Amino acid sequence: MGKADMGVQTLLITASRSESGNYSMIPSPIPRTYAMVAHKRHLDFDVATSSWRMLFHTFTPTSWAGIGVMLLVIFTALLLSQKLRAIRYRRTFRWRNIWFDVFMGVLSNDWPEHITGFKRNLASSITLIITSVVFSLMVVTLFNATLPSKLATSPLAKLPFATLEELLLTNFKIYGTFALKESFKETKKEIIQKLATRMEGISNKVNFYDFIRKDEAPRAVYVTSPEGRTILSTNYSCDFVEAIGHLQDYAVAPFWFRKGSDLYKDFSRQ
């Protein structure tokens, strides 16, 4: 078997590869972004229960308008009844007769002459009641505007974690290549260093995407690049979803040459 003078494969530029002195490389001007994927079986489906649906149907504009009108009528009638009973009727007078007079007075605006002063006090009470009803309508409008958008835009399926900090608090195993683990250890971000400590490196002798496809661990996430995710979904499995996006960017090199190769000098000039 012969030995190649040039290799074309996008690999991470790690410290060990740079210091080995076995080859030269031409780095790519575009860094590679790494993210995490997890199997779909770890998704928790956030489906609205029947009680939540009934609550939503209860707080409809029609029902709130009806409640507002009912409260307005009740409070107004009670206020009028109390004032009429104190001014016009004996304390032993039946309440249903007072209420009948109140509703008839509201409908006809025909009030006894000796309680015309009552109308002057009525304005402030009605203002208070109307303000309460308007405030209730504002609340229900906000509720009806927020809940549908929440139900429409919130993801129905979620992983048990949403951030890297939350992931590190779980018992999920984290897998990645040895080169990526080495790069994570060299970063200045403390959270990425913690991630490197938890990560289990996979040997280059193992097909990493086939390892992901098998997904033998009960709970695991895998660190890969967007290109790797495409390879995974195209050639191995479509059962994985992005768990956490854009963990870290790293420099990569698509062209690798044997140390001292004339090809490296020729390509470098280009």
Task: At 96, list the tokens.
Answer: 């249903």
Q: Are residues 68 and 35 in the same domain?
A: no
pLDDT of residue 128: 59
Let me know whether 42 and 69 are in one domain.
Answer: no
**What pLDDT sits at residue 198?**
92
Q: Are 164 and 255 in a shared domain?
A: yes
178 and 258 both lie in a single domain: yes
Extract the tokens encoding 189: 């971000």
What is the extent of the structural domain holding 67?
Answer: 50-153
User: Can you tell me the distance from the alpha carbon of 187 to that of 194, in angstroms, rounded to the nearest whole number?
Assistant: 10
β-bridge pairing 252-258 and 157-158: unpaired
Q: Say if 2 falls within a structural domain.
A: no
Q: 6-12 and 157-158: which strand pairing?
A: unpaired
> Is 142 part of a structural domain of the chain?
yes
Q: Is residue 1 part of a domain?
A: no
Outline where the chain has alpha helix (H).
Answer: 15-19, 50-58, 61-87, 95-108, 118-153, 164-168, 178-185, 190-198, 208-214, 226-231, 262-269
170 found inside a domain? yes
Do 88 and 18 lie in one domain? The reply is no
Q: Is 89 a domain residue?
A: yes
CA dihedral 242, 246, 250, 252 (to 10 degrees): 50
Domain final residue pick, 114, 129, 153: 153
Q: Using an 8 Å Cβ cutoff, are 223 and 200 in contact?
A: no
**In a shared domain, residues 170 and 37:** yes
Domain at 245, CATH number? 3.40.190.10
* pLDDT at position 216: 87
Count of domains forming the chain: 2
Q: Is residue 12 in a domain?
A: yes
In a domain, 165, yes or no: yes
Same domain, 163 and 251: yes
Measured CA to CA in angstroms, residue 44 lies from 67, 113, 174 at distances of 38, 70, 19
Q: For residue 228, is it within any domain?
A: yes
> Are 221 and 90 part of one and the same domain?
no
Q: Are residues 225 and 104 in the same domain?
A: no
Residues 232 and 200 in one domain: yes
Q: Are residues 36 and 112 in the same domain?
A: no
Q: Do 38 and 167 reside in the same domain of the chain?
A: yes
Of 120, 153, 186, the domain-final residue: 153
Of 153, 170, 203, the residue at which a domain comes to its end is 153
One digit per residue, pLDDT tens: the chain, 270 residues? 346 665 655 666 666 666 666 666 666 666 778 889 999 888 877 655 555 655 566 666 666 676 777 777 767 766 665 665 555 545 555 555 555 555 555 544 555 544 444 454 455 555 656 666 777 777 677 667 666 666 665 556 788 888 889 999 999 999 988 888 888 888 888 998 899 899 998 887 888 888 988 888 899 999 988 778 788 887 888 889 888 888 887 766 556 666 766 665 656 555
